[in-house]
Amino acid sequence: MNSAESAALEMVLCERGWKKSSNGGKPDLVLLNTCSVRQTAETRLKGRLAQYEALKKKYSLSDKRNGNRPFTLVVAGCMASRLGEGLKAAYPAIDYVMGTASRSIFPDILKAVETGTSYEADGEPAVFSFSSSHLEEGAFRSFVPIMHGCDNFCSYCVVPYVRGREVCRSPRSVAEEIALLAERGVREITLLGQNVNSYRYEDENGTVDFPGLLRMVAAWTRGSSIAWIRFLSANPKDLSGETIAVMAENACFCRHIHLPVQHGSDSVLAAMNRRYTRKSFFQLVEDLRKAMPSLSLSTDILVGFPGETEEDLEAVLDLMEQVRFLYSYMYHYNPREGTAAFDLPGRIPEKTKRERLSRVIALQKKHTAEALEKRLGRQEMVLIEGISRKNADELIGRTERDEMAVFPGTREKIGSFAGVTLHSLKGHTFRAEQVN
């Protein structure tokens, strides 16, 4: 979500003629797009702010002497929404605070910077508005936000508090953005939202839900440059049979879903307010795999939630064993003030949380290695994403199942599809050979 929003902000800068400053040079503007989901992200951001504060002081003398403007420091994103003007009071070097719903004021801020004036915002607007395009310059993949905010209030999560309630983008606006991306030759899009399955847009023409939108997107992209479509994030409680059917009927939907299960114990899932059970999750996985046998699944797993017992952890490991995710984002619980879980009794000691997390990570590593081993010898299409970091004569591509493969090739192929044979593994990346 944040990288899509960073790209949208970057686009506003580019459209107004701003250029990225070279490393080491004094910038005219520093834009920090922040995340509040984890405490560590906030702590890191505070460190960065202290650095920029020192830098601003350092430059201010020479700026005054030479009649230059001091650089402008803008803080955007979730942390700006959560802490608002309080952030500015704590770090006076910040010139503007722009929450996730206030992104539309960015051009006004830039105009003030360009003209040497100042801009006063009226606080966060009540209604979130989607910006017109999120295409990073030269990109062949793009995010397409379809909704903003979340109504789910999982007990550990700050997102509904910092991003607000769900707002869905109109199908017409989604269609316009997709048409623009197709015009620019984009090959892959990812429909983006905190919980895309709960997408629902109503107007005088009727109601469009998520499977309805998927059907429309499949039709809009047919015959265009956009060959692959993904979506993120899909809360397991809302992934409907109809969504599965639309995916299965349309090959443009990549055979990969990120399905954040978070835990494997019913009592912990209930305490997290996830509103599904392990039984319903297993049923969902079975339905998905029945409809799309080649589908790969990835997930998020959160251990060390307050009150989690050794048996609960065993339930996580058992669920992983049964589902066999291709990969997982695994983390341990850290209390976030303002969330329902913050006041729950039974906090787990740090050492136990780390130990439990390491068991989950070890099991996932084993599952990933086994899943990839089974794929050796297969022919797959990859979208070529760039040059391999380890060898300038090799390209790196991604399969629709979200697996990485490197193979010999040259730069001009970046952004195109290639057929490859997966012949060996190095870590979790395939070594491959191009076949067409």
Nearer to ligand SF4, 238 or 355 (CB): 238
Task: Tell me how long the chain is.
Answer: 436
Which of these ranges, 9-17, 61-69, 148-156, 321-329, lies near ligand SF4 under the rule CB under 6 A?
148-156
In this chain, which of 30, 49, 83, 154 binds ligand SF4, going by CB under 6 A? 154
Nearer to ligand SF4, 169 or 401 (CB): 169
In this chain, which of 75, 150, 208, 297 binds ligand SF4, going by CB under 6 A? 150
Nearer to ligand SF4, 72 or 195 (CB): 195
Nearer to ligand SF4, 154 or 326 (CB): 154
Minimum CB distance to ligand SF4, residue 22 (Å): 37
Minimum CB distance to ligand SF4, residue 239 (Å): 12
Nearer to ligand SF4, 179 or 232 (CB): 232
152 touches ligand SF4 (CB under 6 A): yes
Query: CA 298 to CA 231: how far, in whole Å?
Result: 13
Nearer to ligand SF4, 234 or 315 (CB): 234
The site for ligand SF4, by CB under 6 A, has a size of 10
Minimum CB distance to ligand SF4, residue 162 (Å): 10
Minimum CB distance to ligand SF4, residue 184 (Å): 30
In this chain, which of 29, 49, 98, 157 binds ligand SF4, going by CB under 6 A? 157
Nearest to 46 by CA among 29, 32, 28: 32
Nearer to ligand SF4, 38 or 366 (CB): 38
Minimum CB distance to ligand SF4, residue 329 (Å): 12
Minimum CB distance to ligand SF4, residue 312 (Å): 18
Within 10 Å of residue 188's Cβ, how many Cβ atoms?
23
In this chain, which of 110, 159, 196, 288 binds ligand SF4, going by CB under 6 A? 159
Within 10 Å of residue 136's Cβ, how many Cβ atoms?
18
Minimum CB distance to ligand SF4, residue 164 (Å): 11
Nearer to ligand SF4, 97 or 159 (CB): 159
Q: Which of residues 202-221 bind ligand SF4 (CB under 6 A)?
A: none
Structure tokens at 387: 């040059």
Minimum CB distance to ligand SF4, residue 209 (Å): 17
Minimum CB distance to ligand SF4, residue 195 (Å): 5
Q: Which of residues 221-250 bind ligand SF4 (CB under 6 A)?
A: 235
Nearer to ligand SF4, 125 or 160 (CB): 160
Which of these ranges, 150-158, 171-179, 321-329, 404-412, lies near ligand SF4 under the rule CB under 6 A?
150-158
195 touches ligand SF4 (CB under 6 A): yes
Minimum CB distance to ligand SF4, residue 94 (Å): 26
In this chain, which of 36, 72, 194, 265 binds ligand SF4, going by CB under 6 A? 194
Q: Spell out the residues 6+ positions from residue 157 whose beta carbon is closer than 8 angstroms to its own.
A: 37, 150, 336, 339
3-state secondary structure string across the chain:
CHHHHHHHHHHHHHHCCCCCCCCCCCCCEEEEEECCCCHHHHHHHHHHHHHHHHHHHHHHHHHHHHCCCCCEEEEEEHHHHHHHHHHHHHCCCCCEEECHHHHHHHHHHHHHHHHCCCCCCCCCCCCCCCCCCCCCCCCCEEEEECEECCCCCCCCCCHHHHHCCCEECCHHHHHHHHHHHHHCCCCEEEEECCCHHHCEEEECCEEEEHHHHHHHHHHHHCCCCCCEEEEECCCHHHCCHHHHHHHHHCCCECCEEECCCECCCHHHHHHCCCCCCHHHHHHHHHHHHHHCCCCEEEEEEEECCCCCCHHHHHHHHHHHHHHCCCEEEEEECCCCCCCHHHHCCCCCCHHHHHHHHHHHHHHHHHHHHHHHHCCCCCEEEEEEEEECCCCCCEEEEEECCCCEEEEECCHHHCCCEEEEEEEEEECCEEEEEECC
Q: Which of residues 311-370 bind ligand SF4 (CB under 6 A)?
A: none
Q: Which of residues 386-405 bind ligand SF4 (CB under 6 A)?
A: none
| Residue 306 · residue 341 · CB < 8 Å | yes
Binding site for ligand SF4 (CB under 6 A): 150, 152-154, 157, 159-160, 194-195, 235
